[in-house]
Amino acid sequence: MGSLTVIKSGFMSTIQDRGRIGYRRIGVPVSGAMDTKSMRDANKIVGNAESTPVVEHTFYGGIYLFNTISIISITGASCNPTINGRLVNQYEAIKVEKGDELEIHYPKRGCRSYLAIQGRLRIPLVMNSCSTYLPGKFGGFKGRAIQKSDVIFWDDDLNQIATQLFQKGEIPYFSTKIKVNISAGPEFDLLSEHAADRLFSISFKVHPQSNRMGIRLTGASISIINFDMVSSPVIPGIIQLPPSGNPIILMNDAQTIGGYPRIGIMKESELWRLGQLKAGDCISFKLA
């Protein structure tokens, strides 16, 4: 059995996997890693199954003291990780020794970095997932972000798949300006031609109040006819338009039912890129 001790808390570091499937009928969001690609990459590098629980760090990640020899990988945001003060590479398997201190720094690019540890974290399943859902205080490490003095254990004696090497070209580059494909949502027709034109021509800015529930956009308001909408199902990737006219892209911890017009839907396969957006980054939409 392996373990580490958190010796400095991060800004918001939580345990995540692919999320909770099958409980939306009772209002439980999917949760799970915001950038699923980086979660899968981190696991592949250390030879874990793709959706093995990982630690997701938003911004500054904190300092970990390893109590045992371990194989780890760090993917996602470029966070200049250091071991005992010396820079180490991301996107490769790293062997850490007992007593080593790993620090996950504030990212230079991107927003969220992922730490995978070879083996399987000892985190109890809640509704079939280890993902932390902070608003509900359940899942992950005691339903909360990990903090100073927490000790995380894992079983390292599992049959591992071969670790995977990443080539430079396979490492994603997280741009501060992205363009994503969307398709029309159920209430897209409520937009006037002018409003629809604006939706596809404006470069929106990510608002600082964005979080795991949704990415709030500012920069230009899109007007919509006044419409009393009945609460309807929503999923991550839906672009809602509240009366303010500032769109919100729903993310992993989003509610299951919403009352704002659903003007667009992002492709699920592109959603991971949004997990790396931070306040001030730009996003524009293209009709697929």
Partner 1 sequence: MLRLNGINWKVTNLGSNTLLLEPMILDGHLEYIHQFYQQIESEPISEIVDVIPAYKSIALFYQSTKENVIEILKQIDWTSLNAKTEQHHIVEVDYDLGLDWNRVCEVSKLSKSEIIERHAGTKYTVAMIGFLPGFIFLKGLELSISVPRLENPRTAIPAGSIGIGGNQTGIYSLESPGGWNIIGKTTHQFFNMKNDPPISISPGDSLTFNPVNS
Residues making contact with partner 1 (CB under 8 A): 21-29, 126-127, 133, 135-138, 183, 185-186, 230-233, 235, 237-238, 255-258, 262, 265-269
- Measured CA to CA, the distance from residue 150 to residue 147 in angstroms comes to 6
Calpha distance 281→180 (Å, rounded)? 13
* Cβ-contact 12, 253 below 8 angstroms: no
Nearer to partner 1, 126 or 206 (CB): 126
- Output 23 or 166, the one with its CB closest to partner 1: 23
* CB of residue 23 to partner 1, shortest distance in Å: 7
- Compute CA 252 distance to the chain's CA centroid, rounded to the nearest angstrom: 8
Q: Which residue, 99, 102, 100, is CA-closest to 89?
A: 102
Beta partners for residue 282, in sequence order: 177, 205
In the complex, minimum distance from the CB of residue 77 to partner 1, in angstroms, rounded to a whole number: 25
Residue 135, token pair as written in the block: 């608003």
Q: Which strands sit side by side in the sheet containing 12-16, from one edge to the other?
A: 12-16, 54-58, 109-117, 70-78, 94-96
Closest to partner 1 by CB, 71 vs 134, is: 134
**Whole-angstrom distance, CA of residue 221 vs CA of residue 198:** 9
Nearer to partner 1, 128 or 201 (CB): 128
Q: How far is the CB of 17 from partner 1 (least distance, A)?
A: 16
Residue 32: which of 217, 196, 271, 215 has the closest Cα? Answer: 271
Residue 80 vs 181, nearer CB to partner 1: 181
Name the minimum Å distance from CB 34 to partner 1: 17
CB of 230 to partner 1, least distance (A): 5
